[in-house]
Structure 1
Amino acid sequence: MASALNFRRSQFADDFLFGVATSAYQIEGSSFGGAGPSHWDTFAATPGNTANAEDGAIACDHYHRYEADLDLIAGANLDAYRFSVSWARVMPDGRAVNREGLDFYDRLTDAMLERGIKPMLTLHHWDLPAALADEGGWRNRDVTDRFADFTGHVIDRIGDRMAATGTLNEPWCIAWLSHFLGNHAPGLRDIRAAARAMHHVLVAHGKAVDVLRAACQDNIGIYLNFEPAEPANGDDGDAEAALRYHAIYNEWFLGALFKKSYPRRALQGLRPHLPEGWEDDMEQIARPLDWLGVNFYTRKLIAHDAAQAWPSLKEVPGPLPKTDMDWEITPESFEWLLGWIAESHTGDLPLIVSENGMASTDVLLNGAVDDGPRIAYLQAHVDAMRRAIDNGAPVKGYTVWSLLDNYEWALGYGKRFGIVHVDYGTLKRTPKASWHALKQALARD
C-alpha cells in the first residue's frame, strides 16, 4: 500500500487551499458548554436508530481539546480548517442565544488564526435544535426564519475573521436521507415531509445569504454532496432510473441555486407534495454565491424497481474496490463530476472540494496507524482533480474528510474517516500515516 503522496503543493496555484474538515456534533461533545438537545440526541436515544445506541454526548471532546486538535492541523501543513457551528449550542431552544456557546466559537476562531489556519465556516451541519424539531423542523417554513436569526448571531460574533462561510452542509442529507429514506434524524419516511424539507432547506439558505451580505460577507457558498449515478445494466428502465436518481440527488439543489428551477424528473414525484407557492421562492433561493463546495465520496449504480412507488429505483452493488462504508472507489467519477458541475450549472464560479476521504479499518499497532489505503485513495482523487483542473474546472481548494475519527451518525463510532486516530476509551489522538503523508506533500518548498 502507498506510504506517501506523490503530489506537492508547488504543483498547484499559489492561492490553492488545502484543508481538513469536521462537524460540531461529530467531534465536540453535545453535553458541554450549555448546548441544548438537538434532534440527533433524540434520534440516538430512540432504540434501533444508531449503532450500539451511540450518540455525540462526548464524541471526541473537541470542546475541551480544540487547541491540541488545531495543532494537528497546523502540524500537517494544512492551510484551512472547515468547521461547523452547533445550532443547538448557540441557540439551545432555537431562539434564545447561549453566550457560552458563542464564546467557544470565538475562542476556536482566534486559536485558528494564532496558528495561521484559515477558518472556513459551516453554519449548519445537521444538529437542528430539538425545540425546532418539535415544531416540525424542516417541514415547517418557520425554520427558515429561525435559521436566518441563527446566522445573524453567529456572523455578528465571528464573521469578521472567516476566510469563507458556507450556509448548509449537504442539504440532500438534511432533507432526503432524513425525511424520505429515514436513515438520519429525524428518521422519517414520508414523501410530503421530504418534499417540504427539500424546499425549505433551500429557502433557509437564501435567507441566510441575505443576512451574510447585509453583514458585508463577501466569500459565501454552500456545501453540496454529489453521487454520479450510472445504470446498473444497459436497459432503458435502468437508464431512466439512474436519471431520476441524478435529478433528485445532484440536480435538485444545483438547479434551484443556479437555474431557479427544479429538474423535471424530480418534480414528477415531488411536485404534489411541495408547499403552496413554492415557485415564488426561487429568486430568494438563487442569490449569487462566491463559490460552491463539492463533497464527493463515490458513485452509485441504479436499477429500476417496478415493485416500489416513485422514484421506483434501487441501488445495486458495484464491482469496484470499496471503502469500509462499502462505497466504491471511483476517482474517474470525481473527475467527471467536477467538469459536469462547471459546464452544466456554475461556469467560472470557483469550486472548493469541501469533503473527500474514506472510511478504513484502521488499527493502532505499536503506537502507529498504517492507513495505506487512505493514502492511495487521496492520491487517486487528487490526481483526478488535477485532470479536471487541466480540462478547465475552476477548482480552488481541496479539503480532506476528516481530521479525526469521530461519531459517524447512525453508524456510531464504528467507521473511521480520520487522518488522526482517536482511542474512544482515552480520547488519545495518534496521527496516522496519511497525516504524515499530507505533512510531507504540503510542506512549503
Structure 2
Amino acid sequence: MTHTSLPDTFLWGVATAGHQNEGDNSASDTWFLEHTTPTLFREPSGPACRGYQRWETDLDLAAGLGLNAFRFSVEWARVEPERGVVSAEALDHYERKVDGCLERGLAPVVTFSHFTAPHWFAAAGSWTAADAPARFAEQCDRVMARFGDRVSHAVTLNEPNLEQLLQAGAKLPAEAETLKRRMLEAAAHAAGSAAYASANVIPAHRQDEFQAAFTRAHRAARDAVKARRGDLPVGVSIAIADEVALPGGEERRDAKRAAVYDHWLREARHDDFIGVQNYERIVHGPDGEVTPDGERNGMGTVIEPASLAGAVRYAHEVSGVPVLVTEHGIQTPDDAQRAAFVPAAVEHLAAEVRAGTPVLGYCHWTLMDNFEWIFGYGARLGLHEVDRDTFERRPKPSAKAYAEVVRRHRGPRGGCAPS
C-alpha cells in the first residue's frame, strides 16, 4: 500500500469530543446526570483530560502525527450556559482553537452537538421540545457567525442512532435500562421539570420520538449552517456496524439495517456527506447473531479490520453521498491490538476507495484515553494515555503506527512519528 492509493485531498485526522476531553462541563445535561442519584454513569467526568486548558498541546500532538485534520465539538453548554446567556469567552476559546488548527495545517472538522446539550435545554423538553430545532439552529448560527468561514466540515449531530444500535444488539443489560429510567426520573425531579433527557441515554420506549426530533434538529442545523456558508460540507455522523449475513441470515441482517441505519442514510441524501463511525462487525445467522472465533476487543466482539470498509460501502450504497469516517477505533487495554488493527483497517479502506467508493477522510477515535460516558475512565481507545493526576499525555505504540500509515499515504508532507 502506497500513499498514492488515496487522493491528495484525503483528510487524515483524529476525533475528539468536548465533554470527554475538556473537563468541568458543569452547565451540561451529562454533568447533571453524572451527579444525579441514582446514576448510570460509573463515575463523574470531573476534569476529564483538562483539554479546555491544554488544547494547544493536543493540537501539537495531532500535528506531530503528520495529520491534516482535527475533529472536535463546540460545547453548546459552554457557549450558552443559561438560556439566552451567551458566553463570549467560550466563543473566543473555540475561535482560537479553529485558528490553532489552521496554523498547524489541520482542517477543523466541527461537531455542533456531540451528545451533550445545556442543562436548561434538557430540563425544558430536550430534543423533543417544540422549539428544540430553533434553539439548536440559533446555536449553530452563532458559531458559524464567529468562525464558520474557517471550518472545513460541519457535523450537526453525533450518532443520533446510537441508542437504537445498542438496544438492537442488546449491548446493555436489562438492569441498565431500569437504572437509566430511574436516573432520568430523579434528574427531572431535581431539576423541577416534567421530564429530563439527554442524547445518549434515551429510554427504549422513546426511541421513535427522539429519532423524529433529531431529524428535525439536523435539518434546522443544516439550514442554519448553509445560510451562513453555502459551500461548507454538512453532514450527520451515525454509529454503524458492518452487518454481515451467513446463508439464511440475510433477513435478520436487513431488518437490523432498516431499524438502526437506513433512516439516517436516506436522510443523508440531502446532505453533502455521511459520517461513518464504525467499531465492529456483526455476523447474522438464521437464528440470530453469531460470534466467530478470533481475538476479541474490549467490547467483546471479534477484531475485524475489514469492518470499516464494509460499513463505508453500505453507507454510500444507501445514501449516495461521499463518506467521511468521523470515528473508527478499537476499545482495548492492549495497545498492541490497536497498533496492528489501525494499519490493517486503513488498508481495507484504501481498497474500498480504489473500488470506487468516495471517501473524504479518516478520523481515528481518539487522540487520548478519555471519559467514555457511562463507562467512565475504564475504557481505553486513545493513541495516547493520560496521567489521571498530572494530565500528561504519553504516546502509545499505536500513535507511531498510525503516524506511519499517514506518512506512507501522504509522503513527505506527513510530518514525524512520535518517539
Is TM (by shorter chain) over 0.5? yes
TM-score normalised according to structure 2 size: 0.84
Contact 1:178 1:187 in 2 (8 A): no
Change (3 A) 1:86 1:316: farther
Residue 198 in structure 1 maps to residue 162 in structure 2? no
Q: How many residues align?
A: 383
The aligned residue for residue 30 of structure 1 is 24
Change (3 A) 1:343 1:194: closer
Contact 1:352 1:396 in 2 (8 A): yes
Letter of the aligned partner of 1:65 in structure 2? R
What SS does the corresponding residue of 2:275 show, helix, strand or coil?
Answer: strand
Structure 1: runs of 5+ lacking an equivalent? 1-6, 259-287, 306-313, 363-370
Measured in 2, the distance between the counterparts of 1:228 and 1:94 equals 40
Measured in 2, the distance between the counterparts of 1:50 and 1:389 equals 40
The aligned residue for residue 360 of structure 1 is 332
Residue 340 in structure 1 maps to residue 351 in structure 2? no
Residue 329 in structure 1 maps to residue 303 in structure 2? yes
Structure 2: runs of 5+ lacking an equivalent? 181-197, 413-419
Residue 251 in structure 1 maps to residue 262 in structure 2? yes
Contact 2:276 2:311 in 1 (8 A): no
What SS does the corresponding residue of 2:14 show, helix, strand or coil?
Answer: strand
Contact 2:162 2:238 in 1 (8 A): no
Change (3 A) 1:300 1:382: same
Measured in 2, the distance between the counterparts of 1:224 and 1:394 equals 17
Change (3 A) 1:439 1:336: closer
Measured in 1, the distance between the counterparts of 2:243 and 2:402 equals 30
Measured in 2, the distance between the counterparts of 1:138 and 1:124 equals 11
Percent identity over the alignment is 33
Measured in 2, the distance between the counterparts of 1:344 and 1:388 equals 16
Change (3 A) 1:249 1:318: farther
RMSD between aligned residues: 2.6
Q: Deviations over 1:61-103 (max 9, x none)?
A: 0001111111101110000001111111111134431222111
Change (3 A) 1:248 1:422: same
Residue 229 (structure 1) aligned to one of 232, 243, 259: 243
Q: Alpha-carbon deviation of 1:250?
A: 1.5
The aligned residue for residue 71 of structure 1 is 60
What SS does the corresponding residue of 1:120 show, helix, strand or coil?
Answer: strand
Letter of the aligned partner of 2:8 in structure 1? D
Residue 227 (structure 2) aligned to one of 204, 214, 230: 214
Q: Deviations over 1:166-202 (max 9, x none)?
A: 11111112677599975676644242x2211101101
TM-score normalised according to structure 1 size: 0.79
The aligned residue for residue 372 of structure 1 is 336
What SS does the corresponding residue of 2:367 show, helix, strand or coil?
Answer: coil
The aligned residue for residue 266 of structure 1 is none
Q: Alpha-carbon deviation of 1:121?
A: 0.6
Change (3 A) 1:396 1:129: same
Letter of the aligned partner of 2:368 in structure 1? L
Contact 2:242 2:307 in 1 (8 A): yes
Q: Deviations over 1:406-427 (max 9, x none)?
A: 0000000001111111111221
Measured in 1, the distance between the counterparts of 2:328 and 2:263 equals 21
Change (3 A) 1:441 1:253: closer
Change (3 A) 1:402 1:172: same
Contact 1:43 1:187 in 2 (8 A): no
Contact 2:277 2:325 in 1 (8 A): yes
- Counterparts of 1:156-305 in structure 2, within 5 Å, are 156-173=145-162, 182=177, 187-191=201-205, 193-218=206-231, 219-230=233-244, 239-258=250-269, 288-301=270-283
